Chain A
């Protein structure tokens, strides 16, 4: 079956540091890949997405590239802010025609001033 593996957190950084959150996946076919962000007490919000190999999704300074050869979709940001503190979820969908998305377990990011 499909699976998504994220690095365990929490990831703790100082403001303006570089961020990488690793995500690898196992899936049949050619799924779409997503990063979602969840702020405390809220639902998930789509952060960025990529629908085919070598696509780069980007939003609010975050980027991730769909790497089919390494089955990865790592999230990066050049300079994090305190307001980026949240839980980040990597996910895939559309594998094998399924309506059921697969989410990673989430990575908590804490940014200190």
Chain B
């Protein structure tokens, strides 16, 4: 069966510090990968998605970046965090062979607080 992991689960970082959140998927190959942010009491905002190694599409211009160094690894980074980067970050995957029509499977999330 497939599983998705995210870490850390919670993170408190000062403004201006760097960020690295990691997501890994097990039990599948060539998944589509996604990073979302969810502000308190708000819906989901798609940040990045990837359909293959090294292929990253950005949906929102901001101080965040994403990388996919391996097939089942997706990393969200920032060089300098802003207060507005606080939120709940969710990684998700969907089967690559299904194109875009499949359901998504979400990780447990990372709660980021920028102070």
- Residues of B near A98 (CB, < 8 A) are 100
Total inter-chain residue pairs, C-beta < 8 Å: 62
User: What band does the interface of chain B fall in when counting residues whose beta carbon is under 8 Å from A?
Assistant: 20 to 34
Is A58 an interface residue, CB under 8 A from the partner? no
Please pick, from A41, A49, A95, A97, the residue contacting B103 in the complex, using a CB distance under 8 A. A49
Please pick, from A31, A42, A46, A89, the residue contacting B101 in the complex, using a CB distance under 8 A. A31
How many of chain A's residues have a CB under 8 angstroms from any CB in B? 25
Q: CA–CA, A51 to B42, complex, Å?
A: 27
Q: Give the interface of B toward A (CB within 8 A).
A: 32, 42-44, 46, 49, 51, 59, 90, 92, 94, 99-109, 111
The 9 closest A-B pairs by CB, nearest first: A94-B101, A43-B106, A105-B43, A99-B100, A44-B106, A32-B101, A103-B44, A46-B103, A43-B109
